[in-house]
Amino acid sequence: MAEEVELNPKQKKEIAKWFLLNSPAGEIQYVAKDLRLVLNDNEVYDEAVSESFPIYNKSHMICLQMPAGAGDVLVTSFGELGENEYLDPRTAQVAIVDHVKQVCTEVRPATDEELSSAYVEEFRSALDVEILKYAGEAYPKGVCSVYCTKGKEVEGPGFNFELVVVISACRLSPQNFCNGSWRSVWTIEFQDEAQVLEVKGKLQVGAHYFEEGNVQLDAKHECGDSTLFQAIYELLAKYMAFNLLGLDANKSPDDSAISISNILRHHETEYLASLEDLRRKLPVTRTLFPWHNTSQFSLTREITKELGIGK
């Protein structure tokens, strides 16, 4: 019999980090609690959680409540300003975050350098309003934000800038042994020279069912199409022309925001429909699965029956 080899602290830490980073939505605290017992080494544990939690929180785009009713902030790489600091563009505030505890400890006003120029802010805020409406309709427990990731210093026409829309929604029900999450990131590139508006989306759905078993879904989808956005660029060009002439053009950022929101809605609805179609596929029994009454099934019982275990 081969002799067991004791893992060194670095190996233990890397294994612990793997489990933490692969925790399903809303479950990293439970995994961390169990890992503390398994490791039985506070130093290794502390290093593992301090390195893993920031990565996990940003990749899952968790939402934290800011103190004193200041609103919510999304923890994302797009709003990251420095160590543990995250911008909320809607309220022009910066949240200081404790990643391991997953709480916002402090809030400070954002500086002018951390915010978009007045010109870019018109497009950012208009799009934020429309995405807020859409997310409220599509994801009852969803949160969203719109960031300027490139060209935030642009003061007028003739230059490129980039906005990123983030939508994050979780439905956590650990008492019923199931958790789920939706994450979508949309990059909108305003390309002045090419006269196009590029929209690229990355969608991710996660689900975890763990009553008497462990079943997970991790589905990802990417989409984008620049040919559909010529009309939006024309609105942008019209706004630029009005701006140069000193005329009222407040409607153009709003119009482009509505168009972009509709495009996002179309792609996300289409992807959700494809996932719904997946649910409707007939299993090997050729009988529709009763999604309306899943409680009649036991994962362990069905697998035991299927494999003939215990006979």
Element (DSSP H or E) covering residue 146: strand 142-150
Per-residue model confidence (pLDDT) at position 304: 59
Residue position matching structure tokens 């040919």: 227
Q: Which two tokens stand for residue 272?
A: 């959700």
Per-residue model confidence (pLDDT) at position 80: 97
How far apart CA 300 and CA 197 sit, in angstroms, is 51
pLDDT at 251 over 70: no
Per-residue model confidence (pLDDT) at position 281: 57
Highest mean pLDDT, choosing among 91-95, 288-292, 297-301: 91-95
Highest mean pLDDT, choosing among 64-73, 223-232, 245-254: 64-73
Per-residue model confidence (pLDDT) at position 290: 62
Q: What phi, psi does 110 have (nearest 5°)?
A: -75, 145
Per-residue model confidence (pLDDT) at position 247: 38
Residue of 85 and 306 predicted with greater confidence: 85
- Type of residue numbered 82: G
User: Could you tell me which of 166, 266, 271 has the C-alpha nearest to residue 219?
Assistant: 271
Q: pLDDT tens digits, residue range 221-232?
A: 999 876 444 444
Q: pLDDT tens digits, residue range 114-157?
A: 999 999 999 999 999 999 999 999 998 899 999 999 999 998 88
Per-residue model confidence (pLDDT) at position 18: 96
Distances (CA, A) of 115 to 62, 129, 153, 165: 22, 17, 9, 16
Lowest mean pLDDT among 48-57, 60-69, 212-221: 212-221
Per-residue model confidence (pLDDT) at position 252: 72
Q: Indicate the pTM of the whole model.
A: 0.82
Q: What is the DSSP letter of 228?
A: G
Contact residues for 33 (Cβ-Cβ < 8 A; gap 6+): none
What number of CA atoms fall less than 13 Å from residue 191's CA on the CB side? Answer: 13
Q: pLDDT tens digits, residue range 81-125?
A: 988 999 999 999 999 999 999 999 999 999 999 999 999 999 999
Q: pLDDT tens digits, residue range 267-286?
A: 999 999 988 776 655 555 55
Angle at 56 between CA 53 and CA 59, to 5 degrees: 150
Angle at 162 between CA 158 and CA 163, to 5 degrees: 130
